[in-house]
Amino acid sequence: MSLNIPNLERNKPLAPFTTYQIGGPADLFVEVYTIDELTHALLAARRKDIPFFLLGCGANILVTDKGFRGLIIRNLANKVTFLDNGRVLAESGATVAHLIEQCMNRELSGLEHFIGIPSTVGGALWQNLHFLSADRQRTLFIEEIVLSSHILTEEGQHRTVQVDYFQFGYDQSILQKHQDAVLDVTFQLSAKRKDEIQIVMDENKAWRNAKQPQLSEYPSCGSVFKKIKGIGAGRLIEQAGLKGARIGNAEVSKKHANFIVNTGNARAADILQLIKYVQEAVKRKLGYTLETEITIIGEQE
């Protein structure tokens, strides 16, 4: 495969770029730092009809042991511009954590609920990033603060779209069905004192630390399964008696059952087998069919 992309690498191990710390190599790999570089890489791959995947923080995905037969584009385009009336323009490679910090310093509220979730702006739109509200009574979605976005369409056209274009749902967006790429996003935030924003961030971080396994403990991809009929998958998995279930070095977290953690040198095959085992057990014992919310990247056995 020949591509006219600067700094292109071959046979690049992907495990270090994922929160799971799992996965084989990509045939082709490039890091891009500007929207122009991102656009160039996307168009080059499309011209040659080479499969590609946009990589952000590497969460919510599992790279297979055989790796990816195509081009991985690691998006590091992260410029943030503060506009008027609470509007913020962020490039798609900006991390949500970095954006939250900048917005808090300017006393702009709306993103702080998502503190602690490893995601880029592009990844946040891909999956409609969400977390519980401060009172834990409802789920807040990134779509609620999205105004518009500049995208590169499947056909290679630049286009500005409004929030409705994304057809957001729970853990889903139109980006999962089409190969349109987010270049930047404009958010609508509201004014709030810095200390009030900090309180929400501290409470959310404390809640996560208490309820969920942290990456500093064991690598994971975040939640594995979608809610079903309003019921958290973790509750169903726990009811089925599956906390602590293991295959190889993959384990259903003893802290939160909707996390499958890498206890040390787990293979993607271990994770996939454990996912299947959990699905079959929950179906057999409780009658529910669990669907995954993670994206499987690469060549499977």
DSSP helix/strand/coil, 261: strand
The Cα 185–Cα 163 span in angstroms is 10
| Bridging pattern class, strands 108-109 and 190-191 | antiparallel
The Cα 172–Cα 75 span in angstroms is 20
Q: Which of 112, 223, 251, 253 is catalytic?
A: 223
Contacts of 287 (CB under 8 A, 6+ apart): none
Residue 223 appears among annotated catalytic residues:
yes
DSSP helix/strand/coil, 106: coil
Q: CB–CB of 74/137 below 8 Å? A: no
HEC letters along 167-208: CCECCECHHHCCCCEEEEEEEECEECCHHHHHHHHHHHHHHH
The DSSP element (H or E) to which 124 belongs, if any, is helix 121-127
Question: Would you state the structure tokens that stand for residue 258, as one six-digit string?
Answer: 């909707």
Residue 31 appears among annotated catalytic residues:
no
Give helix then strand counts, H and E, for the chain: 6, 18
The secondary structure of residue 18, as a DSSP letter, is: S
Residue 79 dihedral angles phi and psi, to the nearest 5°? -70, 140
The Cα 68–Cα 48 span in angstroms is 16
The Cα 120–Cα 194 span in angstroms is 23
Active site members:
223, 293
